[in-house]
Amino acid sequence: MLLLVIVVIALGWAAFGISLARDSLRSKRSQPSGARASRSILQSPTPSLSLRSGPFGIPQTNAAARVRRQNVLASLIVAAILTYLLTQLWTFVWVVHIAVDVALVAFVVALYLRWAKSQPTALGSSRGVRIQPARY
């Protein structure tokens, strides 16, 4: 049982590491180099406080935002699986597992609401009737 837990943890961290490495390589390819890089830094109003770059920055394109959402969803799923497996060894991990499950459900609901908002119309598209998602 312990070997299975260790293998699952290693696979989860490997997937997370591969995802970070892939994103890092993509961002390095798209960054300007040489004199253009120094000009872009100097033109920034606050280069040291910029939240526009890096793994925790604001995505600049829809594709980058989509990749970020996929990475967050994958990380939450891996965390939920790992914390569930760890609850088999230590009972106090249930609190962490429940918190991760709540975060996973909240993120999936947010993704659904974003998807529902992007849909132009549902039934009655010829009349322009828009179905609103339920708001609680």
Q: Are 78 and 14 in contact (CB under 8 A)?
A: no
Instruction: Output phi, psi for 54, to 5 deg.
Output: 90, 175
- The full set of domain ranges for the chain reads 2-45+61-119
Q: Which amino acid is at 45?
A: P
The per-residue pLDDT of the chain, averaged, comes to: 74
Q: For residue 126, is pLDDT > 60?
A: no
Question: What is the phi-psi region of residue 7: left when phi exceeds 0, alpha when psi lies from -120 to 50, beta otherwise?
Answer: alpha
**Model's pTM, two decimal places?**
0.54
* Tens digit of each residue's pLDDT (9 = 90 or more) over 66-100: 888 998 999 999 999 999 988 888 888 889 899 99
Q: Are 133 and 116 in contact (CB under 8 A)?
A: yes
Q: Are 27 and 60 in contact (CB under 8 A)?
A: no
Q: For residue 47, is pLDDT > 90?
A: no
pLDDT tier at 41, thresholds 50, 70, 90? very low
